[in-house]
Chain A
Amino acid sequence: MNDQDAIALLRDLCGAYSPSGEEAEAVALLAERAAAAGLSTSIDGAGNFIGERGNGPATVVLLGHIDTVEGFISPTIADGRLQARGAVDAKGPLAAFVAATSRAVIPEGVKVVVIGAVEEEAASSKGARYVCNRYAPTATIIGEPSGTSGITLGYKGRVGLTLVAQQPHAHTAAEGRSIAALAAAWWTRVEEYCDRRNHNHRTFDRLDPHLAEFHTSTDGFTDRVDVRGSLRLPPEADVDELHRRVAELAANWGDASLSGHLPAFRSDRKTKLVGAMIRAIREDSREPTFKLKTGTSDMNVVGPVWQCPIVAYGPGDSRLDHAPDEHIVLDEYLAAVRVLTRTIVSRLG
């Protein structure tokens, strides 16, 4: 796959709108293009795109995701940039995986498997959870934007946080605090708890609260409040202790709970995989950097299970993830294809 074909693949993949749960059209397009470029392709039971080259027994998995957040941006190329939904997060990295795998001379004894997972942007992580127990890779690269010179070594974790409380409806002139005031004070105390815990910690090691929804209602007899948010977790976060704390803060009037725990994950950087990536980035006359991310990715899902050398890599500026002006610089996309091509021909295990 030459540079023009690689750019056309990314443009057309972005043109196949694929918010979480609606990835079938994009998966079919990618399977068709990857097959034409020499990969053996299939679609697995979760709806993931699978493209393979080489015979193994060693397996290198390149795990990207093919879904995007909602909000279609029609692909437009101008001034060396492709503006499109998913150009950065994360069809750019996924298309780079396919282009690099088609170009590379796969070493004897190695199979490269490109996975375009579904529902990474959803809390379900359906695609990654499906492949978790179906592969035992010797090395894995997650397809997320790190910038052409960046190697991502870890992601924070996440846990959902909800509060439900109700009390008898009362006149606004009555004594006592409203259910909304009680819930607002609870959230403030959650933030204060996190602030105290975070003193002198860098961002990756902080416990970060995020308030997503605050909804009050009444049927004339009972007032109710529903609060939904999340906590971004540092490594080694004690979720049982967190649960106890947030529940204590709502004791006797509300029910606070945690759900959907995805632990933080941090990979080892003293591996053949990291060495190969550094070498490949330097061969492209770039200065490698390591990154730790404040969000989560499929690395959090497969990393603890696969227990192999793992990084995340891909072209694009992650500040443009989900943005209305999401775009990728095409020269950087092509540079990432070169870096990945050099990496996957190296000894990674």
Chain B
Amino acid sequence: MPKCLECDAEITLKADVEAGEIIDCPDCGTEFEVRSVDPPTLDHAPQEEEDWGE
């Protein structure tokens, strides 16, 4: 079971989770990207940028 990279809480992944999905830590709310499912690996979610356009 992966742990939160900020608060070390254990994060339970849903059975149907796939790489690339964004999830959050149930304790501190930090968002992570699922980088791989087997083994379960998390990294910080991509940041939001502001952009001109359309």
Contacts and interface: CB of A to CB of B under 8 A. Distances in A.
A270 interface: yes
A89 to B, nearest CB: 7
Contact of B54 (A278, A290, A318): A318
A274 B22 contact: yes
A321 interface: yes
Interface in A275-300: 275-280, 282, 287-297
Interface string B10-54: 000000001111111000000101100000000001111111111
B21 A289 contact: no
Given A275-B22, A278-B33, A290 B53 contact: no
Contacts, number: 89
A282 B50 contact: no
A226 interface: no
A279 B21 CA distance: 8
Given A288-B46, A289-B46, A290-B46, A275 B21 contact: yes
A292 B49 contact: yes
B22 to A, nearest CB: 5
A152 B23 CA distance: 18
Nearest to A287: B46
Interface in A219-262: none
A234 to B, nearest CB: 12
Contacts of A296: 54
